[in-house]
Amino acid sequence: MRRGRRPEPGGWNPFAVEVEAIEASVAALKARGAPFRNDIVVGPGGRQVLCEDPSGNAVELFQRA
- Domain-embedded: residue 6: no
pLDDT single digits (tens) 38-65? 999 999 999 999 998 887 888 999 999 9
Query: How many Cβ atoms are within 10 Å of 50's Cβ, its own excluded?
Result: 19
Task: Please state the pTM of the whole predicted model.
Answer: 0.79
What integer is the mean pLDDT of 23-29?
Answer: 98
Domain containing 43 equals: 14-64
Predicted local confidence at residue 9, as pLDDT: 54
Name the pLDDT band for 8 (thresholds 50, 70, 90). low
End-to-end CA distance of the chain: 23
50 domain residue, yes or no: yes
State how many domains the chain has: 1
2 within some domain: no
